[in-house]
Chains A and B, each alone.
Chain A
Amino acid sequence: MKLVIDRVSKQYQNRIAVDRVSLVLHEGVHGLLGANGAGKTTLMRMLCGILKPTGGTITFDGMDVSEEAYRAVLGYLPQDFGYYPEFRAMDFLLYLAALKGIPRPKAKRRAGELLALVSLQEEGHKKIKTFSGGMKQRLGIAQALLNDPKLLILDEPTAGLDPKERVRFRNLIEDLGRDSIVLLSTHIVSDIEHIADDILMMKEGQLIYQGKWEETKGDLEAFYLQQFAEEVTGGTNA
């Protein structure tokens, strides 16, 4: 299982959001750190095929990002995903399961399992408009897992979760990373420092760090904040 990102760039009129990022990711949890505006969301959108790179290629086990087969193995939780207020949670999952090409009987079974996994089994028949922010976020996590994705992309997944839910979510991600490639973006270091097999750090559209973070290298948060501080003061890359 291999996700290959080869010199991927995204350029807007007078701004480079992602600048020639190259990566090869295998099974495991990959934490993507970066300040707001670093290019994390843009990179993730390109990895999900909803934003076309201006340069470079993205393939998963040889499948191009533009192919339906690529999207069939993809699970995606956007940073600011929307929902249908009048839909019940179960309908929302069944609809998205249909979009992912999952047959209806399997979708029903899987949706039930996932609602239980995110502690929403009692709320499955309630309309989403009655949900709190945290409940909506858990529903978003559930939809990303509907198709047992081989490639799971989570953009700021812990936003809106309370501390207890964050811990539960971290454990869940750790489990998923055993059989899938999980790419998780955040600007909160504690979300990933204990579960990520690999740390990726972005700044101004460029990948400034990739690799395992070992305690011998020091405190990850301190390193991350150092990059951020340099950005604020106009410093150069580490």
Chain B
Amino acid sequence: MSNFGTIYGYEVKKILGRRLVWAVTAVCMLCVVLFTFADLTGKYYVDGAVADTHYHMFQVDQEYRHALSGRALDQKLLAEVSKAYRTIPDTSERYTLTPEYETYARPYSEIFHLVRRWTQGNFDEFREWEPDERALYAARGETLEQIWRDLQLTDAEKAYWRGKEAETKTPLVYFYHEGYSKILSNGLNTISILILLAVCICMAGVFAEEHARRTDQLILSGAKGKSMVYWAKIAAGVSVSSALALALSALVFGLVFAVYGAEGFAVSLRFSSYLWNSSEPISIGQACLTAYGIVLVTTAVVSALMLVLSEVLHNSIAALAVGVGAIMAGMLARIPQQYRVAAQIWDWSPVRFLNAEYIFDSRTIPLAEHCLSAWQVVPVLYILAGIGVVVAGKFIYQRYQVSGR
């Protein structure tokens, strides 16, 4: 009779019985709460005097964005934006401090920033720009071509993305989407670092502590100790890590939606301030679900790697040092884009990949005559690598010898 369920339950209990796990979870949740409200706290100063609060500024902009919601990015809207911004006088001070900006231009600032990104123009160039819907979409294409050249995309990749751009029906329709934008940018960056660190801390001791505590003798001399326990420990570690990732993701979604609103799931990714240059034909809501799905997969795989590392090194501090060291290297080290293959491999490693910029990377993997996007390929590669490492870890675990005590 299989006792896997019972053993799995006790392995989960062992992990959750450690105060460290709860302390790390509490710290992660606190960080998520702080990140959610950080942008809304504090005051906005002009020349040393308080001009406004960040929360009030957000409320005002949110109202203007809601007013634009549902409008097509067409000739009519562009003309309104242009007209509004031309009311701003030439001034030596910041244009955002003028009453004309506050009265006429600010309600269109969301669209103004989008046009500036797509055309790569500055404020003065925009004011002289004749609003032209077709020219705007063409300018986006030219900007993307430049970005693709900088990324050293192949001709096949460029053709692939041109095709994706061409699939998109224009004019695009704007919807308020602040919540999803936050989740995809700050939220993802915050949660990815937190989760990876938490997994390293919580999983580094799962196998190592059995050796340090000398319970390994009892386990390995049991009938199921050399095989089933290994799988039960891996399953317990992976499921606890995944549950942590799920809980933190749910907290991010819940808090952000509560503060910024949940509208805008279907708005095109091209309106995103963070991923405007992505040609993926998906909505910002779909991008969020994809990114957080990848967070879950990566968490599961990284936790499996940490568990195996814990068994290989037989020392929780050493395993933790390797894990945290890898995360730090991922945060600090960057390979220049001109080394295309090396940079792509490095940017797609688990310690860097949990960033919307890389999940929706323009660099692809060619397969036959197709180009596969990072979000399609990398999770599969992670899962395959994870399975390989876990199977190798099983052989190491089985061969462990209790000696020298």
A83 touches B403 (CB 8 A): no
Residue pair A78, B217 in contact (C-beta under 8 Å): yes
The answer to whether B402 touches A83, judged by C-beta atoms less than 8 angstroms apart, is: no
B366 CB within 8 Å of chain A: no
Q: How far is the CA of A74 from the CA of B221 in the complex (A)?
A: 8
A72 proximal to B (CB < 8 A): yes
Report the minimal beta-carbon distance from A149 to chain B, rounded to whole angstroms. 10
Residue from A82, A100, A147 whose CB has the most chain B CB atoms within 10 Å: A82
Q: Please tell me if the beta carbons of A45 and B403 are within 8 angstroms of each other in the complex.
A: yes
With contacts A45-B402, A86-B17 known, is A81 near B214, CB below 8 A?
yes
A42 neighbours in B (Cβ, 8 Å): 403
Selected from B7, B10, B214, the residue in CB contact (under 8 A) with A80 is B214
**With an 8 A cutoff between CB atoms, is A50 at the interface?**
yes
Q: Contacts A45-B402, A84-B14, A96-B218 given; indicate if A103 touches B1 (C-beta within 8 A).
A: yes
Judging by beta carbons under 8 Å apart, are B17 and A101 in contact? no
- In whole angstroms, how far apart are the Cα atoms of A182 and B385 in the complex? 46
Q: Which of B96-104, B224-232, B266-274 contacts A (4 or more CB under 8 A)?
A: B224-232
**Min distance, Cβ B259 to any Cβ of chain A, angstroms:** 38
User: Does B121 sit at the interface, judged by CB under 8 A?
Assistant: no
Q: Flag whether A112 is at the interface (Cβ < 8 A).
A: no
A50 and B401 in contact, given A94-B6, A96-B218, A104-B6 (Cβ under 8 angstroms) = yes
User: B21 to nearest A CB, angstroms?
Assistant: 12
For the complex, is B41 an interface residue (Cβ under 8 Å from A)? no
Cβ of A143 within 8 Å of any chain B Cβ, yes or no, is: yes
Interchain CB contact (< 8 A) of B225 among A86, A91, A99: A99
* Cα–Cα, bound, A71→B17 (Å): 28
Say if the beta carbon of B213 comes within 8 Å of chain A: yes
Q: Are B223 and A76 in contact (CB under 8 A)?
A: no
Interface centre among A80, A84, A98, by most B CB within 10 Å? A98
Determine which of A50, A71, A81, A86 lies in contact with B223 in the assembled complex, contact meaning CB atoms within 8 Å.
A71
Residues 31-52 of chain A: 1 if any B CB is under 8 Å from the residue's CB, otherwise 0?
0000000000010010011111
With most chain A CB atoms within 10 A of its CB, the pick from B17, B215, B218 is B218
Within 8 A of A (CB), among B35-67: none
A91 contacts across to B, CB distance below 8 A: 10, 13
Whether B7 lies near A99 (C-beta < 8 A) is yes
A68 within 8 A of B: yes
Contact present for A98 and B402 (CB under 8 Å): no
- Are B3 and A96 interface neighbours, CB within 8 A? no
Q: Is A209 in contact with chain B by the CB < 8 A criterion? A: no
Cβ-based interface call for A228 (8 A): no
Tell me the count of chain A residues lying within 8 A, CB to CB, of chain B: 35
> Which of B10, B14, B210, B214 has the most chain A CB atoms inside 10 A of its CB?
B10
Whole-angstrom CA separation of A14 from B214 in the bound complex: 25
In the complex the two chains form, what is the Cα distance from A49 to B398 in whole Å? 11
Q: A224 contacts the other chain (Cβ, under 8 Å)?
A: no
**Are the CB atoms of B6 and A98 closer together than 8 Å?**
yes
> Is B405 an interface residue, CB under 8 A from the partner?
yes
Closest to A79 in B: B405
Q: Judge if A213 is at the interface, Cβ distance under 8 Å.
A: no
- Specify which chain B residues have a CB less than 8 angstroms from the CB of A103 in the assembled complex: 1, 3
CB distance from B182 to the nearest CB of A (A): 39
* Chain A hits for B403, CB < 8 A: 12, 42, 45, 51
**Which chain A residue lies CB-closest to B7?**
A98
Contact A98 B10 (CB under 8 A): yes
Q: Does B220 contact A (CB under 8 A)?
A: yes
* CB closest chain-B residue, reference A99: B222
Which of B17, B217, B225, B228 has the most C-beta atoms of chain A within 10 angstroms of its own C-beta?
B217
A82 to B214, Cβ gap below 8 A?
yes
B33 an interface residue at 8 Å Cβ cutoff? no
Q: Kindly supply a per-residue 1/0 record for chain A positions 174-218, scoring 1 wherever the CB is within 8 Å of any chain B CB and 0 otherwise.
A: 000000000000000000000000000000000000000000000
Give CA–CA (A30, B201) in the complex, Å. Answer: 46
Contact B224 A98 (CB under 8 A): yes
Interface residues of A in 82-137 (CB under 8 A from B): 82-84, 86-87, 91, 94-96, 98-104
Interface flags for A8-45 (1: CB within 8 Å of B; 0: not) read: 00001000000000000000000000000000001001
A91 to B222, CA, bound (A): 16
* B14 to chain A: closest residue by CB: A84
Partner-B contacts on A (CB < 8 A):
12, 42, 45, 48-52, 68-69, 71-72, 74, 76, 78, 80-84, 86-87, 91, 94-96, 98-104, 143, 147
Seen from chain B, the residues whose Cβ lies within 8 Å of a Cβ on chain A are: 1, 3, 6-7, 10, 13-14, 17-18, 210, 213-229, 401-403, 405
Q: List 9 A-B contacts (CB under 8 A).
A: A68-B226, A71-B221, A78-B218, A82-B218, A84-B213, A99-B218, A99-B219, A99-B229, A104-B6
